[in-house]
Chain A
């Protein structure tokens, strides 16, 4: 049972997350309209880049971070069955995230920092944009510390017992984030801010890209943490099954911890400042990080099959028909897996060093991550909210038909949005363009696909509005006496776990060790090179 204090805290995180999400989604759809053939020319493209900066920063940083934090607090109290330690610090952390978001978005909305969420130097925007990001990150680090503190307090009181799986996974995600965010934090603190504040006028643009890649790839695994946690600890229970293997889950989470960091340089395959040996190493590790995802798909499919059989499904496929298809969680996980499957196929193409040359920085890439992140990952954020909502409001969440409609709309909308988006990428349509000259014979054939994507976006906006509606109705429904919140139980009760899968010291050492090896060398090499700093270029011409 969640205490009243925690409920308010978690609701604050979720509502801010979903408000940012809705606003950013509308901006995304506006961007698609502006660059589609439906709109003829944007007289001031700077407005478009303000929107993309806001859309990207909200969707990539603020929204997933707040979902992970809110879900993390819920897990800490529900899984450990002890009151949340550090409620005040948690509010302070939330306050920093809010303050940081406002600080960053003020200059963006004024057009003073249209540098996009990747803010590649030597282009430099208003200092407050970067200060805001730092505040958000510092706020999130308080959350990381709180997750660790809550876990350790529990361990003291329950020495020798296995840490409940939801908390184990949650803390793995928190530590992953802490280390992931260090790359961008170093870039901002040591390279960008001295320039943005006017103390320096030159900057090493290549080194900045290396630091940023440290964050840029692993952040994807942070986005999917809440989704994977939900796969393991919510889905089997919600659909009436069992978790196939508790150990497999733990192994997946520690593998993410170790392998998601040292591979970020696959974003720099085309860059001149990284040697080819390094690129090869990062490509190899990129292949390793698919292991935990394959483990997860296997374990969850097995768990879902158990649910089907427990419900009386027989034969090779009969269990599929026996699944509770009317249950929103069931729908969400099925849709998520289908999108993950399509996305995975596309991911293999990104990964291979050779094929990457055809699609790097084309619209293929944006289509790809909208499918994985906006599709497979975010659809589970909805499911998490639906699952937790009654425990946060103390009221029934009854609009099950609306929930199903919302999930269907999101699924279909996402496919309609991303399939043509991938396709124009293969045709060579570049990223980050405010408009395209569709009258040009080379671009004319692409026009219709962008229009289709725009139409798919309308479905997504409708779905998001439904989502908010369901949650609001949840606040207005009748109070109910809540059953105790339960997480999934494994097929075999977890009585003992090897030390390695019950603590993090070893994995954190490996995570840091591998990052230092894989990044230390290229960073040292660039720092040792003479005259690599170039004049900074203000994003606004004064």
Chain B
């Protein structure tokens, strides 16, 4: 009967736990109007420096590419990804890092990380999104903080798309 007591105790604990802890904010967005207005319009995609010095990277996944296709990020700086999908479920991971995000249409995903050293990394879509799924690879260029500041200087958004 100890087990039962334990289970019931845990259920009680869980209920209290939730009552005391607000759910983290879930952000929604309409994929049909992404490109017309709001933070995911094309001119606003890519990396931008925030007033506090951190960097925000906005990315949209659609069949079968990411926009932008090449992300430019600095080393040793807090980086926040904000991403969503324009059509079906996509996802991405950046090889050799802990960056791993699901893009569910209708919702905005956020992910915070820091890059340690300069590198050229691959960023594939990692959820089946249709017959072209295997073609959906983007790239990430991690550059030295100073180099990033040079490239980003004065621009609203940067990327490494040529």
Contacts and interface: CB of A to CB of B under 8 A. Distances in A.
A514 interface: yes
A275 B105 contact: no
A358 to B, nearest CB: 5
A275 B23 contact: yes
- Which range contains the number of A residues in contact with the other chain? 35 or more
Interface in B102-132: 102-110, 121-122, 124-132
B17 interface: yes
A204 B1 CA distance: 42
Given A258-B7, A427-B95, A433 B133 contact: yes
B26 A428 contact: no
Interface string A522-539: 000110011111110101
A122 B87 contact: yes
B26 A205 contact: no
Interface string B74-101: 0000000000100111010111111111
A423 interface: no
Nearest to A356: B100
Nearest to A277: B21
A206 B133 contact: no
B88 A275 contact: no
B54 interface: no
Contacts of A386: none
B36 interface: no
Contacts of A357: 98-100
Contacts of B161: none
A116 B3 CA distance: 39
A207 to B, nearest CB: 9
A430 B28 contact: no
A165 B25 CA distance: 47
B7 A510 contact: yes
B107 A120 contact: no
Given A277-B24, A535-B31, A435 B101 contact: no
A360 B128 contact: no
B133 A361 contact: no
A470 to B, nearest CB: 36
Interface in B15-39: 15, 17-18, 21, 23-28, 30-32
Interface residues of B, number: 55
A72 to B, nearest CB: 26
B23 A278 contact: yes
B14 interface: yes
A251 interface: yes
A116 B128 CA distance: 8
A435 to B, nearest CB: 5
A114 B131 contact: yes
Residue from A206, A273, A534 having most chain B Cβ neighbours under 10 A = A534
A537 B88 contact: yes
B24 A433 contact: no
A201 to B, nearest CB: 11
Contacts of A435: 134
Nearest to B132: A45
B41 interface: no
A401 B105 CA distance: 55
Nearest to B139: A442
A513 B11 CA distance: 9
Nearest to B131: A46
Nearest to A53: B128
A430 B126 contact: yes
A500 B1 CA distance: 8
Nearest to A50: B131
Contacts of B107: 206, 271-273, 532
Nearest to A427: B95
Residue from A114, A204, A430, A525 having most chain B Cβ neighbours under 10 A = A430
A45 B63 CA distance: 15
Residue from A360, A514, A525 having most chain B Cβ neighbours under 10 A = A360
A120 B91 contact: no
A288 to B, nearest CB: 8
A276 B133 CA distance: 28
Contacts of A278: 23
A13 interface: no
A220 interface: no
Given A430-B125, A532-B106, A525 B11 contact: no
Contacts of A356: 100
B36 to A, nearest CB: 15
A273 B87 CA distance: 16
Interface in A345-364: 354, 356-358, 360-362
B15 A205 contact: no
24 contacts: A46-B131, A122-B88, A122-B105, A123-B129, A205-B89, A205-B105, A271-B107, A275-B26, A277-B18, A356-B100, A361-B93, A361-B126, A361-B127, A362-B93, A430-B126, A433-B124, A433-B134, A436-B134, A443-B122, A500-B4, A510-B7, A534-B31, A534-B105, A537-B130
Closest 3 CB pairs of A and B: A428-B95, A275-B23, A430-B126
Interface of B: 1, 3-4, 7, 11, 14-15, 17-18, 21, 23-28, 30-32, 84, 87-89, 91, 93-110, 121-122, 124-134
Interface of A: 45-46, 49, 114-116, 118, 120-123, 204-206, 209, 251, 255, 258, 268, 270-278, 281, 354, 356-358, 360-362, 427-428, 430-436, 440, 442-443, 500, 506, 510, 513-514, 517-518, 521, 525-526, 529-535, 537, 539
